[in-house]
Amino acid sequence: MKYDVILYGATGFTGKRAVQYFQKHAPESLNWAIAARNESKLLSLKQELNLEVDALIADALHEEDIKILVQQTKVILSTAGPFALYGAHIIKYCAAFGVHYVDITGEAPWVRNMLDEHGATAAASGAKIVPFCGFDSIPADLGVWLLQKHFRESFGTELTKTEAYYTLAKGGLNGGTFLSALNMMESGEVKRMGNPKLLLKDLNFRSFIPKIKRSPWQHYAEDLQKWVYPFFMSEINSKVVYRSIGLAAKYNLKHPESFVYQEYHAIGKRIPAFIASMGLLSFGIMGQSAFMRKLMHKWGPKSGEGPSETNIEEGFFKVRMIGRDPAENKAMMTLQYPGDAGNKATVCFLCESALALACDLDKLPNYTGFLTPSLAFGSILFERLMLAGLSATCTTLPN
C-alpha cells in the first residue's frame, strides 16, 4: 500500500479539522494523504495549511474513482456526509480489498444497509469497518465498556441497566451533521431508528433487551437531582451499545444476558428542561413536513459551515453513566472532554481511531467485519483518548 491513511472529505468543515489534527498529532513516520472530489478546494487546503502530503482527487459518486483510491491505503478515514449519499462505494471497496475504515456517521439505517450488503465480504477480507467513531457513539460505547469492566472487577457481576446523562456547553451543529439528519428525514430512514435491534439482525444474540416502561419525556432524575429529557442522540448511541453486546456474545466474551441502555440530557431546572425538550420534539415534528425541511435547508448551516473557533474551543461535554447489576450494586462512570462535542471531540475521537488502526493494529482485538468502537479498539483507543484529553473516573455509589 502506498499510504497508511487517506483522509477522505478533507475539504469539509470536519474534514479540514481532521487534517489539522493529523498535521499536529500523526507520527512523522506515518504516510498519509488527503482526498476529496473538488480539486481546487483540495489544493487550496493544501496551500492554506502548508501541507506536504499528497492530495488525491476522487468523487464519492464515481465508483471507479473510489475503487482506485481505496486500493492505495491501509486505512480510510471518511468525513464525507451525508454518508447515505456519499459513503456506499467507499464501504464496498474497503470491504472488498481488506482496507480498514472509520467514519463519524450517526446514520444507523445506512450502516444496517451496508452491513447487509458487505458484512460477509468485510469479515472474509480482514477489513475492520468501524462507523460511529465520533461523538456518536464513542462516549456511549466506550463508557459502557468501562462501566462493565468496573462491575466485573469490583462485584464480579454484569450490568443490567445503564442510564447516561449528558451535559453539553457551547459549540453547535456543523453543516454536515445537520444535512445528514435532514437526509434521514427526507429518505424516510428515520422511521427505522425506532427499532432498538436495528444493528443486531446479523447476530444470534439479540433477545437481551427487555421491555421496559419508559420514563416520562421530561422527569426528575433522583441520581443526579436534575431535570432531564431524552438525549437527541440516544436512538443512535443505544443501537451501537447494543451491537457491542451482541458482538461480545458472538466472540464468546463476557456479556450480560439482559441489558437496557437509556440516555438523557441533564439540563438542571424544570423550566429550562421543558423548553429544551419542546424544542427537540418540535424539530422532530417539523422534520416530517417537506415544506419545513425546505425551510431548514434554507436557514440551517450549509455544508462546510460550523460553529466559531471560540465556541468550539470553549465548549465541553460531560456524560455521567449510572449502572446497576442484578444485586442493585450501583456505580457511576464519568467521561468528559474539553472541547465542543460535535466538532472538537468528534475530530479527536475519529482521528485517534484511525491512528489506532494505522499504528497499533497488532495490539487490537483480532475481529473483522462491521465492528463497534469498543469491540474494534478496546483499551488501545481508551489509552489514546486519555492522552488526548479525555478524562474518565468511576466511583461506586451507595445502594
Supply the pLDDT for residue 114.
Answer: 98
Q: CA-CA-CA-CA torsion for 25, 97, 114, 375, nearest 10 degrees?
A: -50
* C-alpha cell, 294: 425546505
Query: Using CA atoms, how far apart are residues 335 and 395, in angstroms rounded to an integer?
Result: 12
The band of 399, judged by pLDDT with boundaries at 50, 70 and 90, is confident
Query: Using CA atoms, how far apart are residues 217 and 124, in angstroms rounded to an integer?
Result: 44
Supply the pLDDT for residue 178.
Answer: 57
> Residue written as cell 466559531?
308
* 93, pLDDT greater than 90: yes
How do residues 28-72 score in pLDDT, each as one tens digit?
A: 999 999 999 999 999 999 999 999 999 999 999 999 999 999 999
CATH number belonging to domain 3-134+347-377: 3.40.50.720
Report, as an integer, the average pLDDT of 340-361. Answer: 95
* C-alpha cell, 255: 456479556
Supply the pLDDT for residue 308.
Answer: 72
Pick the more confident residue, 185 or 147.
Answer: 147
Report, as an integer, the average pLDDT of 226-250. Answer: 94
Domain boundaries, the chain: 3-134+347-377, 138-341+380-397
The band of 353, judged by pLDDT with boundaries at 50, 70 and 90, is very high
The band of 309, judged by pLDDT with boundaries at 50, 70 and 90, is confident
Supply the pLDDT for residue 376.
Answer: 98
Q: Which helix (H) or strand (E) holds 19?
A: helix 13-25
| Backbone φ/ψ region at 372: left (φ over 0), alpha (ψ -120 to 50), beta | beta
Pick the more confident residue, 230 or 14.
Answer: 14
Report, as an integer, the average pLDDT of 289-300. Answer: 56
* C-alpha cell, 352: 485517534
* 284, pLDDT greater than 90: no
Alpha carbon distances (Å) from 337 to 79, 130, 168, 273? 21, 22, 10, 23
How do residues 149-171 score in pLDDT, each as one tens digit?
A: 999 999 999 999 999 999 876 55
> Residue written as cell 464513542?
138
Supply the pLDDT for residue 86.
Answer: 95
The three-state secondary structure class of 322 is: strand
Supply the pLDDT for residue 275.
Answer: 64
Query: Using CA atoms, how far apart are residues 341 and 344, in angstroms rounded to an integer?
Result: 6
Supply the pLDDT for residue 230.
Answer: 86
Supply the pLDDT for residue 177.
Answer: 60
Supply the pLDDT for residue 220.
Answer: 86
Query: Using CA atoms, how far apart are residues 164 and 136, in angstroms rounded to an integer?
Result: 13
The band of 115, judged by pLDDT with boundaries at 50, 70 and 90, is very high
Instruction: Return the number of other C-beta atoms located less than 10 Å from residue 125's C-beta.
Output: 17
Question: What DSSP string runs through 184-252?
Answer: HHHHTGGGGGG-TTTTTTT-S--------PPPPSSEEETTTTEEEEE-TTHHHHHHHHHHHHHHHHHTT
Supply the pLDDT for residue 286.
Answer: 55
Query: Using CA atoms, how far apart are residues 274 and 278, in angstroms rounded to an integer?
Result: 6
Report, as an integer, the average pLDDT of 102-131. Answer: 97
Query: Using CA atoms, how far apart are residues 145 and 373, in angstroms rounded to an integer?
Result: 10
Indicate the average pLDDT of the chain. Answer: 89
The burial of 224, by beta-carbon neighbours within 10 Å (0-12 exposed, 13-18 middle, 19 or more buried), is given as middle
Q: Which helix (H) or strand (E) holds 281?
A: helix 270-286
Query: Using CA atoms, how far apart are residues 59 and 204, in angstroms rounded to an integer?
Result: 37
Supply the pLDDT for residue 384.
Answer: 98
Supply the pLDDT for residue 310.
Answer: 77
Report, as an integer, the average pLDDT of 71-93. Answer: 96
Task: Report the greatest alpha carbon distance in the chain.
Answer: 61
The three-state secondary structure class of 276 is: helix
Query: Using CA atoms, how far apart are residues 280 and 258, in angstroms rounded to an integer?
Result: 30
SS (H, E, C) 134-188: ECCEHHHHHHHHHHHHHHHHHCCCCCCEEEEEEEEECCCCCHHHHHHHHHHHHHC
* 332, pLDDT greater than 70: yes
